[in-house]
Amino acid sequence: MSDLSQNILFEHPLNEKVRTWLRLEMLLQQLQHNRELTNLTKTLSFFRAISELLDIIDRGDVRTELLKELERQQQKLLQWIDVPGVDVERLKALRHTLKEQANTLLNAQRLGQSLKDDRLVSMVRQRLSIPGGCCSFDLPVLHMWLHNAKQIRDEQVTEWLASIATLNNSLKTCLNLIRQTGVFQKQTSVNGFYQDNAEDCDILRIRIDSSHQLYPQVSGHKTRFAIRFMPFDCELGEIPEQFNFEIACC
């Protein structure tokens, strides 16, 4: 095994709700990563993430699903209150946090609405679907904005991110709690295949040593799943008869 090998974590949603949440999570992380708009490349990555975020929000009722999950997690915590040895004060504090986030989410304006209403965001979104459509002759207002003082640009970015902070906080909480329900266990793949039950699970988390140069293709739903491990090099790569990996059903 190479000294440079490392575990690669793959996550696969087992329902459409979590599929949407993982995509939102990735886009929100991109926004944070690219918030320093120091050049056009980072700026376009930032605006593209905003545009895709708003597209996803428009396609489903994200707020309702998150509210349901926050309530579900509160009920799950309530079941642990009378279990001997449990840190009751910590459970109560977590339930209080969940309740506060649910109330904030419930009373917030329509998710993403202020971003939709923003003139600059709207103008950039319209051009992103055109290949190379954000050149200076296409979007002079963006290029003018990029020449504003850094403090002015930073304040605007902070305002944009603050408008989706309620979504970000609720989503982080729900996904973190879901992930914590799963414990990684060592399993063995035979001829690149593995299957198991996944009753009441939302996410599969699969850890594979990078030295294998394999990635998982998952098919399944909330009760059962199957994993086919594929070589990164589809022509020359080999699948060992048996190899170990780790998996958590969350």
| CA of residue 216 relative to chain centroid, distance | 18
Whether the per-residue pLDDT at 1 is higher than 50: the answer is: no
- CATH number of domain containing 82: 1.10.3900.10
| Full-model pTM | 0.91
Among 116, 143, 178, where does a domain finish? 178
Q: How far is CA 99 from the centre of its chain?
A: 22
Domain count, the chain: 2
**CB < 8 Å & 24+ apart, contacts of 190-195:** 190/241, 190/242, 191/239, 191/241, 192/228, 192/229, 192/230, 192/239, 192/240, 193/226, 193/227, 193/228, 193/229, 194/226, 194/227, 194/229, 194/245, 194/247, 195/224, 195/225, 195/226, 195/227
Distance, in Å, from the CA atom of 149 to the CA atom of 157, rounded to the nearest integer, reads 13
Q: The CATH number of the domain where 230 resides is what?
A: 2.60.440.10
124 and 225 fall within a common domain:
no
* Enclosing domain of residue 132: 16-178
At 109-123, the pLDDT tens digits run 899 999 999 999 999
Query: Which residue, of 156, 178, 200, is where some domain finishes?
Result: 178
The verdict on 227 and 158 lying in the same domain is: no
Tokens at 233, concatenated: 């090099």
Least confident of 140-144, 212-216, 237-241: 237-241
Tell me the average pLDDT across 143-165.
Answer: 95
Query: In which band, very low, low, confident or very high, does the pLDDT at 80 lie, cut at 50, 70 and 90?
Result: confident
Residue 222: what pLDDT?
67
- Give the model's confidence band at 4: pLDDT under 50 very low, under 70 low, under 90 confident, else very high: low
Instruction: Determine the pLDDT at residue 182.
Output: 92
pLDDT at 223: 82
Asked if 160 and 196 sit in the same domain, the reply is no
Is there a single domain that holds both residue 191 and residue 174? Answer: no
pLDDT at 89 over 90: no
| Domain finish residue from 178, 193, 225 | 178
Same domain for 98 and 222, yes or no, is: no
In a domain, 115, yes or no: yes
